[in-house]
Amino acid sequence: MPYELQGPGDVDIDYSCDFSDYVEDGSPTDSIDTFSWSIFPENDGSPSTSLHTQIENQGNVTTFVTNLEAGILYKLTCHIITVQGRTDERSITILCENR
């Protein structure tokens, strides 16, 4: 399983999911209406783990991750809903370990 590597003290590491195919699929009236990010496990014993500064730009949706706990494998997921009501989600696996 491919994964991203992040250290436990790393602050504001950005992760993005590309949904531009919804914007560029020949349907110029569709775009991302809403999006949200989640991370699992949510409560890993590190109360300062956070996702913040979530932005969308031309179909690329980005969040910043802070303070993961070493030794834990995380699943970061972005869920979108388009103006035309289509839904999708994409995930990134993150392994947090001391580097």
CATH number where 81 lies = 2.60.40.10
Domain enclosing residue 61, as ranges: 4-96
pLDDT winner (highest mean) among 15-19, 39-43, 82-86: 15-19
How many domains does the structure of the chain reveal? 1
Query: What integer is the mean pLDDT of 74-99?
Result: 93
Query: What integer is the mean pLDDT of 55-76?
Result: 91
- Compare 48 and 99 and report the one with higher pLDDT: 99
| DSSP output for 6-30 | E-TT--SEEEEEE-HHHHSSS-TT-
Residue 47 binned pLDDT confidence (cut-offs 50, 70, 90): low
Q: Is the pTM of this model over 0.75?
A: yes
Which residue reads 């999006």 in tokens?
A: 35
Say if residue 85's pLDDT is above 60. yes
